[in-house]
Amino acid sequence: MSRIGKQPVPIPSGVDVTIDGQNVSVKGPKGTLELTVAEPITLARNEDGAIVVNRPNDERLNRSLHGLSRTLVSNLVTGVTEGYTTKMEIFGVGYRVQLKGSNLEFALGYSHPVLIEAPDGITFAVQSPTKFTITGIDKQKVGQISANIRRLRRPDPYKGKGVRYEGEQIRRKVGKTGK
């Protein structure tokens, strides 16, 4: 049995869960999220009201999908109750970010400003010209938009310039020695 998959997903008060075959819909104070789990995996409610993820047998694929499905369902419940936030920071002379409506505009050393539009369910907040946060209820969307923004100007291993996650340690390299 998968150690992660066998744990039931507790449902806090104020969260409404609907299970319809392979589909699960979670509605909470921050919004609604839906998920379709892979075919061999089944979802059910136990006597405590928690969601239990089951697999038909111990085939390798089913074992893999078991823990994954449980984690995805758990992420839905956490998303509609607490939400997810990614904090990011910018290093580099002249590199900055500002809020334009609900979108982010970056100055990252290119000849033009880079505009990132906020997808549905994602909000941006700028604390300073070099620090900003990405907030939403869908963990996958928040992580993907964070990775897309980081990809605009990856941290440089020589000087450390670029966009990075807050607290991320950049592996630095030693430059060439002059004659």
* Averaged pLDDT of the chain: 94
pTM: 0.89
Q: 33 with 17: CB under 8 angstroms? A: no
Strand spans (E) along the chain? 16-20, 23-28, 31-36, 42-45, 51-54, 84-91, 96-100, 103-107, 114-116, 122-128, 131-136, 162-165
**Domains annotated on the chain, with CATH:** 16-81 (3.90.930.12), 84-165 (3.90.930.12)
pLDDT at 1 over 60: no
Q: What's the pLDDT at 178?
A: 75
pLDDT at 172 over 90: yes
pLDDT at 177 over 90: no
- What is the per-residue DSSP string for 38-57? -TT-EEEE-TTS-EEEE-SS
The count of residues in the chain is 179
Q: 28 with 81: CB under 8 angstroms? A: yes
Q: Lowest-confidence range among 26-35, 55-64, 83-92, 148-157?
A: 55-64
Model confidence over 28-75: pLDDT tens digits?
999 999 999 999 999 999 988 899 999 999 999 999 999 999 999 999
Mean pLDDT computed over 113-126 = 95
Model confidence over 106-115: pLDDT tens digits?
999 999 999 9
Model confidence over 126-149: pLDDT tens digits?
999 999 999 999 999 999 999 999
Q: Pick left, alpha or beta for residue 14 (phi over 0 → left; psi -120 to 50 → alpha; otherwise beta).
A: left
